[in-house]
Every structure is written in structure tokens, then in C-alpha cells.
């Protein structure tokens, strides 16, 4: 597959469509070893058992690879992009992307990142697909590096595989030997307006609604904590109160001064939804680590660190809906 430095200053983002364990190992070991042979920094973020299988297949070379548990960092899909950003920034600061590689040229970066696996919920899959598209937005103007995203064609539904082609400029299939450009990228369904403008499915269970403004934030935190404690426990209820406080404060500051909170329970998950009349214009909202003066507008970043799934929809005509899912233990 060549060297990440071959991208000549660009971010390269490919899907890897594999069928079963044998093809996964054939494609990913070749990709990782290609990076190591070129003197590149390599990060692998996949779920078990594939992480352990890949490490075993690499043998001693696995010690030269950084591994992250995607089931942990990607539990909330919105936390995957900042994990990659942190790694790229760390490697760039350490000299990767500009230091000499094995052939004397620029040292590159490459990663293997598996955003969607079997048993992801439909809502999580949609957010993962948004993540895949937003990777291109986030990294197209940054340092050159190469990200390969595995998709198991035996375990995932056909529409998910189709969407992988829609969100990646190119893909490889089978054992990973033949690269093809995607004929459906970029898909208009993943434009910023389409991703954030569509409605969310209505809950199928009873919903509690509470209107709020700046005077009612303290009372709102108490009601949220009481609602969540039976499912999340005392500590989880505290996190829920913090999540809702950040969402409601955003409404007060940026959404017209007031909003509507809806809350309900889905099994062992508690869902809080804030609605207001504001409009979000940043497609990477909540996915960029706040630095410097931006820490004063870190509400959605904080929410993403606390919840298991965050769904954001915003449209100039309908306003903004932010839905946070917190799962009990």
C-alpha cells in the first residue's frame, strides 16, 4: 500500500472491506508492516478479539505499534475523532510527519481505526457514519497521514458497507491488495446541512418535559438528578445533572435564552434532550478539545466526555436538538 508520506501533504482516508478474520489479518498486518518498514508511527484502534489477533500476527513488531481499545474510546462515537487528533498532534510534536523515515524521506503516520462493529445500535451507527465524514473535514488541511477503516462485510448489514464507500474517498477489499476510488464519495447525504438538519426518531416511551430559563437552572439540575438516580446511581445522577446543566446553559447563552428539556428511560439508559431556537454552524462542535480562550465554550465537549452517545441536530428553521444518552452499569 505504499507510504503515508506518498500522500504529499494530504490526509488519506480509506475503507477496508474485509470478510472474516483471515482477510482482516491479511489486510491489516500488511498495512501496519508497510508503515513500520517505512519508519512511520502507527496507531491501531480496533475492538477485541481483533486487537489481540493482530498483535499476535505482528509478533515482535507489535511492540512498535500503539494500540487503543476502540470499544472504550469509541463507546461514544464523538470521542473517536479527538482521540485521533490527540495522537496526530502528539506525533507531530515529537517529529513525526517531518522526521526522516526509513528511506530518508519525511516520516509519515498511519492508523487503523474500526468505528463500526457488530452490535452497534442503529443510532450509534449513524453517529459513526457522521464521524467518518467529519474525519475528512477535520484532517484535510492538516499534516499528511493515512487512516484505514476496517468494515466486516460478513457481520455488518449491506447498507452500512455502502455507506462506508460514501464516506471514504477510496477503499480496498478482500486481502487489501487492490485500491479503488469511491464513485459515491462525497455523498450529498453527508453534507453538513443533511447530517445536522434531519429530525431524530421520536421516543417510543413516556417522556417528561420541563421548560427552563436562566432562573430555573438550579431546580432543573435537581429534577434531573432525581430522575436519573434509580437507573444510574448517585454518581451517575451527578453526571446526568452536569450534562443537562451544560446543555441548558448553552440554550440560555446561545439558543435564545430558554429551552425545553425532555427526559425518558430506554432500558438501562437515561436520555436527556435539550431543545432551543439556536443554530449550530460548526460541524466539529464538541469534537475539538478546547484550548485557550475556547475553554469558555466547552459545554458540548464536556457532555461528550460524560455520555455514552450524543446526537446533535440543528436547522435554522427548526432550531437545535441535542440528545444525550447515559447508560447505567
Domain boundary among 151, 166, 190: 190
* Same domain assignment for residues 32 and 94: yes
Q: Out of 150, 170, 190, pick the residue that ends a domain.
A: 190
Does the residue 223 lie in any domain? Answer: yes
Q: Give the chain's mean pLDDT.
A: 91
- SS3 of 155-207: the string is CCCHHHHHHHHHHCCEEEECCCCEEEECCCCCCHHHCHHHHHHCCCCCCCCCC
Instruction: For the chain, list the strands marked E by DSSP.
Output: 11-18, 41-46, 66-69, 109-113, 145-152, 170-173, 178-181, 208-213, 258-266, 269-276, 309-315, 319-327
Same domain, 186 and 297: no
Q: What is the pLDDT of residue 15?
A: 97
Number of domains in the chain: 2
Q: Given pLDDT bands bounded at 50, 70 and 90, which one contains residue 220?
A: very high
Shared domain for 58 and 169, answered yes or no, is yes
pLDDT in tens, 73-110: 999 999 999 999 999 999 988 775 544 444 444 569 99
Does 217 share its domain with 181?
A: no
Of residues 14, 27, 16, the one with CA closest to residue 153: 16
Full residue range of the structural domain in which residue 74 is found: 4-190
Range among 92-101, 287-296, 299-308 with highest mean pLDDT value: 299-308
The verdict on 150 and 15 lying in the same domain is yes
* Domain annotation covers residue 195: no
- Residue 33 CB-density burial (10 A; 0-12 exposed, 13-18 middle, 19+ buried): middle
* pLDDT at residue 8 is higher than 60: no
Identify whether 197 is part of a domain: no
**pLDDT mean over 169-176:** 85
Of 154, 170, 190, at which residue does a domain stop? 190
- Residue 94, pLDDT score: 78
**Which strands sit side by side in the sheet containing 109-113, from one edge to the other?**
66-69, 41-46, 109-113, 145-152, 11-18, 170-173, 178-181
pLDDT digits (tens, 9 = 90+) for 241-289: 999 999 999 999 999 999 999 999 999 999 999 999 999 999 999 999 8
Is 9 inside a domain boundary? Answer: yes
Residue 38 lies in a domain: yes
Kindly state whether residues 44 and 150 are assigned to the same domain.
yes
What is the CATH number for 62? Answer: 3.40.50
Q: pTM for this one?
A: 0.91
pLDDT higher than threshold 90 for residue 3 = no
Asked whether residue 196 is domain-assigned, the answer is no
Same domain, 224 and 300: yes
Q: Are residues 53 and 167 in the same domain?
A: yes
- The answer to whether residues 234 and 186 belong to one domain is no
Residue range 125-137: average pLDDT? 95
Question: Could you tell me whether strands 109-113 and 41-46 are parallel, antiparallel, or unpaired per DSSP bridges?
Answer: parallel
User: Does 297 share its domain with 247?
Assistant: yes
Is 151 among the domain residues? yes
Cα–Cα distance measured from residue 158 to residue 35, given in angstroms and rounded to the nearest whole number: 30
**CA dihedral over 86, 89, 93, 99, signed as positive or negative:** positive
pLDDT higher than 70, residue 297: no
pLDDT for the residue 329: 73
118 and 155 together in one domain? yes
Q: At residue 128, does pLDDT exceed 60?
A: yes
Assigned domain for 242 exists: yes
Peptide bond into 161 cis (omega under 30): no
CATH of the domain at 235: 3.30.565.10
pLDDT at 175: 67
The answer to whether residues 141 and 232 belong to one domain is no
Amino acid at each position: 500500500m505504499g507510504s503515508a508520506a506518498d500522500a504529499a501533504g494530504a490526509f488519506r482516508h480509506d475503507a477496508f472491506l474485509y470478510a472474516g478474520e483471515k482477510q482482516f489479518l491479511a489486510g491489516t498486518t500488511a498495512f501496519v508492516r508497510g508503515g513500520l518498514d517505512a519508519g512511520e508511527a502507527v496507531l491501531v484502534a480496533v475492538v477485541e478479539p481483533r486487537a489481540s489477533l493482530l498483535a499476535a500476527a505482528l509478533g515482535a513488531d507489535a511492540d512498535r505499534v500503539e494500540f487503543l481499545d476502540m470499544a472504550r474510546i469509541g463507546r461514544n462515537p464523538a470521542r473517536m475523532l479527538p482521540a485521533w487528533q490527540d495522537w496526530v498532534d502528539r506525533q507531530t510534536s515529537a517529529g513525526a510527519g517531518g522526521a526522516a523515515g526509513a528511506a530518508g524521506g519525511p516520516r509519515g503516520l498511519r492508523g487503523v481505526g474500526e468505528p463500526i462493529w457488530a452490535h452497534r445500535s442503529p443510532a450509534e451507527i449513524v453517529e459513526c457514519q457522521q464521524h467518518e465524514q467529519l474525519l475528512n473535514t477535520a484532517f484535510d488541511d492538516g499534516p499528511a497521514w493515512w487512516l484505514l477503516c476496517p468494515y466486516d462485510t460478513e457481520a455488518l448489514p449491506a447498507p452500512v458497507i455502502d455507506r462506508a464507500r460514501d464516506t471514504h474517498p477510496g477503499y480496498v477489499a478482500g486481502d487489501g491488495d487492490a485500491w479503488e476510488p469511491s464513485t459515491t464519495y462525497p455523498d450529498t447525504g453527508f453534507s453538513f446541512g443533511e447530517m445536522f438538519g434531519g429530525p431524530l426518531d421520536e421516543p417510543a416511551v413516556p417522556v417528561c418535559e420541563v421548560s427552563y430559563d436562566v432562573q430555573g437552572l438550579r431546580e432543573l439540575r435537581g429534577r434531573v438528578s432525581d430522575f436519573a438516580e434509580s437507573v444510574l446511581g448517585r454518581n451517575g445522577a451527578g453526571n446526568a445533572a452536569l450534562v443537562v446543566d451544560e446543555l441548558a446553559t448553552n440554550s440560555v447563552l446561545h439558543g435564545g435564552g430558554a429551552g425545553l428539556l425532555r427526559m425518558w428511560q430506554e432500558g438501562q439508559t437515561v436520555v436527556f434532550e435539550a431543545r432551543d431556537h439556536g443554530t449550530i454552524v460548526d460541524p466539529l462542535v464538541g469534537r475539538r478539545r478546547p484550548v485557550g480562550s475556547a475553554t469558555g465554550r466547552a459545554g458540548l465537549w464536556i457532555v461528550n466526555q460524560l455520555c455514552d452517545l450524543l446526537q446533535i441536530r440543528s436547522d435554522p428553521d427548526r432550531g437545535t436538538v441535542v440528545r444525550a444518552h447515559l447508560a447505567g452499569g
